[in-house]
Every structure is written in structure tokens, then in C-alpha cells.
Amino acid sequence: MARLNVPPTKSSLLRVRDDLRMATEGFSLLDQKREILVMELMRLLERVRVVQREVEQAREKAHATARKAFTRNGFHVMRRIASGIRYPHKTTIRHRVVAGVRLPEITAEHGEFSLQFGLAETDSLVDETMRDYLALVETLGRMAQLENAAWLLARELKKTQRRVNALEQIFIPDFSDTLAYIAETLESKELEAFAILKIVKARRE
Amino acid sequence: MSYRIIGDQDTILGYAFAGVPGVAVDGEEQARAAFRSALADAGVSMLIVTRRVASLLSDEIAAHRVACQAPFVVEVGDLWDTPVKRRTLEELIQEAVGIRITKAD
């Protein structure tokens, strides 16, 4: 039985009762928050799994094309071609709030597939490489956003979990034990005073 | 705000075709230096690292991920690698944050 170190008086009884009420309210709120976080995280992880599969496919495809293109054209030629390629990738980060957590929402503007090299000395594999890699980068961007949101939620969940546990296992039992102790002591004191009063009365008669 | 990739020569060349600037690194020191300079660069919002680089810098990447700050790091396979089973996000989160997420029935 853990008890707080407070004198068993009427005023501390009131104070501890207030504290207990506050702790219980906080507990139920945090418990709700925890549940929301868990739900959100589960949903997110489901989406992450889907996007990861997409990324894996896009990556396979892009890498296979790149391997073919490198083998056909040679590394140095490819490098020369690549050095002229510019795409204006632009990402903007906004935030969405879920259960008190700021989740980043990344919107990426990707360059449209466009002609960036001479046609005379390049083959279709070069075009395909560019197309596949653009698709890959686009899915990677989505994955980064989801994964990062999952990390944030997980961190917040951990924090909430710890608070919920502290309230449930430590603060609430402490407060209620103290409350019971104070109530008990006050009652016995009252009884004592009452008994003394009786005795005094009896003696005076 | 844009992308950047850290990896070996061949892998980053592929990404150059999508207009992603890359830093070719060889060995742990170079990788670490490239990673740090990418973190310090406010213009990078999405950092792609190859799996090999990621395994060299696993400690720093894990710490950066838990901190949840830009640039956001994603891992991709190397160009010549055969695909290996990567660890799932759940496992990574469990390791770094210490909570396990399982489906409740």
C-alpha cells in the first residue's frame, strides 16, 4: 500500500479527492488517445505495406531497365546522357494533426517526362530508364511520407502508453489509498471526540 | 526542397535519369560525411540511401528516424543486388521505439 505523505486532515482530504478526480479524468482521456493512436497506426501500417510493395515493384522494374541500358550503352555514355537531365522536383511539407501529433504531408511535384537528350545517339532503353525511374521516385516519395508518419505515431504512442501506465499503476492507486487512509483516520478521530464528549457528559451529571 | 540519393556509382546513375542528384560514396567515412551534409542541407527534404549505405550507417539513420525530422530517409536496394527480404517497418519500430503492434482479434 503506497500512501502519500500528507497529514490526515479535512483540507488534505478535499485536496486528494480533487487530485484523484483529475487523475481519473486524465486517465480516461489518455486511454482514448492511446486507442486512437493505435487505430491510426494500424491503418497507416496497412497502407505502408501496400506502398512498400509498389515501391519494390517499381524498383525491380527500374533497376532491371537500368541494368539493361547500362549493359547496352556502357556506363560512360549513360553518365554523359544523365548529366544533362534536369527535373524540377519540388516537395512541399504541410502538417496534419492526429490526436495531438503533427504528421507531415509531403506533396511532391514531379517533373513530367520530357525529352532531355538527343535522339540520334540514344536508344529506347534510355527513355525507358528515365520513365521507370520517374515512377520509382514518385512512389518513394509516398512511402517516405507514410513511413515517417508511422514513426511519429509510434513515438507518440509510446509516450502516451507510459503516461497511461503511470496514472493507472501509480497515481490513481496512490491517491485512492491516501483518500481511504485519511477518511479512516478522520472517522476514528471523530469517534474518539464523540466518546470523550459522552464521558464528560456522564461525569458532569 | 528536393531529393538526394547517397549510394554507389551505378545506383545513383539510375536515379540521375529521374533528375535526382546523387552523392557517390565508397566506404563508411564517405557515407557518414555525405549523410551528415545531407542532414545539414535544408534544401533536401527526401533522402534516398541504398541498402548498403544504410547498413553502414544504421545507428545514425535509426536515430534520425526516431527524431522524425526532414529530410525523410528511405532505403532502396542497390542496382546489382539481388532483392533481399528487408526488415518490415513494424520490426524497425519495435526495435527503436519499443512497442509492438499486432492485430487484435
**Which domains, ranges and CATH numbers included, belong to chain A?**
10-204 (1.10.287.3240)
Decide if B89 is inside a domain. yes
AA identity, residue A159: K
Shortest Cα–Cα distance, B29 to chain A (Å): 25
pLDDT for A192 equals 93
Closest alpha carbon to B95 in B61, B69, B70, B48: B61
pLDDT at B105 over 50: no
pLDDT at A109 over 70: no
Q: What pLDDT is stored for residue B1 in this prediction?
A: 53
User: Average per-residue pLDDT in chain B?
Assistant: 77
B66 pLDDT higher than 90: no
Residue B56 has pLDDT above 80, yes or no: yes
Q: Cβ contacts (< 8 Å) between B102 and chain A: which residues?
A: none
Residue A103: strand, helix, or coil: strand
Q: Answer whether A111 sits within 8 Å of B19, measured CB to CB.
A: yes
CB contact under 8 A, B19 and A88: yes
Angle of the B28-40 helix axis to the B58-67 helix axis, nearest 10: 20
> What average pLDDT does range A12-32 have in this prediction?
90
Cβ-based contacts of A75 with chain B (< 8 Å): 10, 13
pLDDT at A25 over 90: yes
Chain A neighbors of B14, CB-CB under 8 A: 62-63, 66, 129, 133
- Residue A49 pLDDT exceeds 90: no
Does residue A97 sit in helix, strand or coil? strand
Whole-number pLDDT of residue B15: 81
Residue A1 confidence (pLDDT): 55
For residue A151, give the nearest of B1, B93, B103 by CB distance: B93
Q: What is the mean pLDDT of residues A123-142?
A: 80
Please report, rounded to a whole number, the percentage of residues in chain A having pLDDT higher than 70. 89
pTM: 0.75
Q: DSSP for B24-86?
A: E--SHHHHHHHHHHHHH-TTEEEEEEEHHHHHHTHHHHHHHHHHT-SSEEEEE--TTPPP-PP
Q: Give the count of domains, chain B.
A: 1
Q: What's the pLDDT at A202?
A: 92
| Model pLDDT for residues A67-107, shown as the tens digit of each residue | 888 888 777 777 777 777 777 777 777 777 777 777 777 77
Q: Which of A63, A87, A158 sits opposite B98 (nearest CB)?
A: A158
Q: Which of A49, A52, A133 sits opposite B18 (nearest CB)?
A: A133
Q: Residue B67 sits in a domain of what CATH number? A: 3.40.50.10580
Angle between helices B9-16 and A124-165 (to 10 degrees): 100
Is residue A188 over pLDDT 90? yes
Residues 67-96 of B with CB under 8 A from A: 68, 70, 72-74, 76-77, 79-80, 83, 88-90, 93
10-69 of B, contacting A, C-beta below 8 A: 10, 13-20, 45-46, 48, 65-66, 68
Domain span at residue B53? Answer: 2-97
What pLDDT is stored for residue B84 in this prediction? 61
Instruction: Test B16 with A144 for CB contact under 8 angstroms.
Output: no
Decide if B103 is inside a domain: no
The predicted structure's pLDDT at residue B104: 54
Give me the mean pLDDT over the B54-82 stretch.
Answer: 78
ipTM summary value = 0.77
Task: Give the whole-angstrom CA distance, residue A111 versus residue A89.
Answer: 6
